[in-house]
Amino acid sequence: MVPQSISYYRIQQQSFETMVERSKNARYLHYYSSLLLDRRDAKEVRLFNMFPKIIEKYISLFEQTKKDVNQIRRKQLTTSSLFVVLTVGVFGYGFYWFTNSVRTGALEVGVLLMFVSVIGYISTSMARVVEDSSLLYDSLLWIEKYFNFLGYQDDFKNGTQSFPDDFNDINVKNLSFTYPFSDTEILHNVSFSVKSGEKVAIVGENGSGKSTLVKLLMRFYDPTNGKISVDNYDLKDINIFDLHKNLSATFQDFSRFKLTLKENVITGYSFNKDRVNNVLKAAGLGDLLVNDHLNLNTMLAKDFENGTDLSGGQWQKVALARDLYADGKIEFLDEPTAALDAKSESEIYQRFLKENDKKTIFFVTHRLSAVRFADKVLFLDSGKISGFDTHTNLLHTNPKYKEMYDLQKNAYL
Ligand SMILES: Nc1ncnc2c1ncn2[C@@H]1O[C@H](COP(=O)(O)OP(=O)(O)O)[C@@H](O)[C@H]1O
Ligand SMILES: [Mg+2]
């Protein structure tokens, strides 16, 4: 009986997993947990503080699924109990008949066979009882899954300082950076200073370290050497949630969250219908809402119930709307327009810069069509600062910059 129990517990564990897998909520549960662990989505999940909302969604769906699964299990328990009662009855009658036959001398091979099969029945039924007693094991599995999920934590050291209300400048001093688990230094002794409200274009060839610098400025990584500070506060000393509240961004590999349009836009912030509609319009998605099939509660994923997918261009606009909704004091645009031609990119950047006069804006581009709108250009060359000046000055003082500009110039005309 003991080895049998163990094997049933194992089967139970598997059937539990299958039941969870098969449940219609399973895909959502998987998706929510993957959101917190997926590298691609991690940037925006962290920046826009989406943790609490995702966990809340996970827990409520989890409770629902648990209820559903337990309901099925209870049904199974009732069925198998009935089975046992029935079998005992049959066994009892069989036994009576068997002994009676022996007594009257009418025992035949057929009766013996029947008796054996009744015993087989009994043992199966008993096994079922064991299986059902492992319902408790079910709950333990749930609890384990749940705590594994809650136990997920970032190995990030958080600061206690709040982000300065009105900061004067952002300073980067002797910053070098090597990605974790890598031997190659990507940024080498980078130093520069940006005043509040300045618009800075970060330019350089692919692989020169532009995105890496942006990730460091947003504290997705800490510098290997040197430091980044806002006024006199080291970025590491500023509370990460407060820091992220003051930043907003659109990335080249922006997230396409399998959530509703509304959730995609408001992320971790509270819902304000007018503001959502405004940013959707500003991002160029006004038409999308006029479309009958789409509203703020539409699920943006084809594989989810009543969901629909968007085109690449529309997703890009959703990412921009999300960025606008977060409304940080410091804005980062890391080539979200890479899929567009140089002229459209230039137009988008121009509009963005004009409409956000007070914000400090870093915009990354490997194309120089938009640099004219920047107060300053930070020119990165293989992880080093090759120049940091106005576009006009750089054209005069930096031959490499001039060469790059001249090479690309024809594309903008
Ligand atoms: N997560 C990472 N781990 C290791 N190396 C990376 C990682 N991300 C980028 N790199 C490397 O860092 C260098 C700079 O990349 P990146 O900052 O993305 O350049 P850019 O944005 O200018 O095109 C590249 O050589 C790239 O391969
Ligand atoms: Mg990049």
Residues 220-278 have pLDDT tens digits of: 999 999 999 999 999 999 999 999 999 999 998 899 999 999 999 999 999 999 999 99
Condensed to tens digits (0 to 9), the pLDDT of residues 331-365 reads 999 988 777 777 777 777 887 787 788 899 999 98
Nearest CA-CA partner of 300 in 273, 319, 284, 278:
319
- 364 CA to centre of own chain: 23
Backbone φ and ψ of 348, nearest 5°: -60, -45
Q: Averaged over 149-170, what is the pLDDT?
A: 79
- For ligand 2, the distance from its centroid to the CA atom of residue 202, given in whole angstroms, is 10
Contact yes or no for 121/90 (Cβ under 8 A): yes
Condensed to tens digits (0 to 9), the pLDDT of residues 98-141 reads 667 666 666 565 665 666 666 666 666 666 655 555 545 555 56
Maximum CA pair distance of the chain? 119
- Cα atoms in the Cβ-side hemisphere of radius 13 Å centred on 29: 20
Q: Residue whose CA is closest, atom 3 of ligand 1?
A: 179
pLDDT at 140: 55
* C-beta 210 within 6 A of ligand 1: yes
Q: Which of 40, 177, 186 has most ligand 1 atoms within 8 Å of its beta carbon, as the pocket-test mutant?
A: 186
* C-beta 311 within 6 A of ligand 1: no
Q: Cα 383–384–386 angle (5° rounding)? A: 130
- For ligand 2, the distance from its centroid to the CA atom of residue 179, given in whole angstroms, is 15
Q: Cα 247–311–347 angle (5° rounding)? A: 55
Which atom of ligand 1 sits closest to the CA of residue 215? Answer: 17
Condensed to tens digits (0 to 9), the pLDDT of residues 82-92 reads 766 776 776 67
* C-beta 179 within 6 A of ligand 1: yes
Q: Which pTM does this prediction carry?
A: 0.76
- For ligand 1, the distance from its centroid to the CA atom of residue 296, given in whole angstroms, is 36
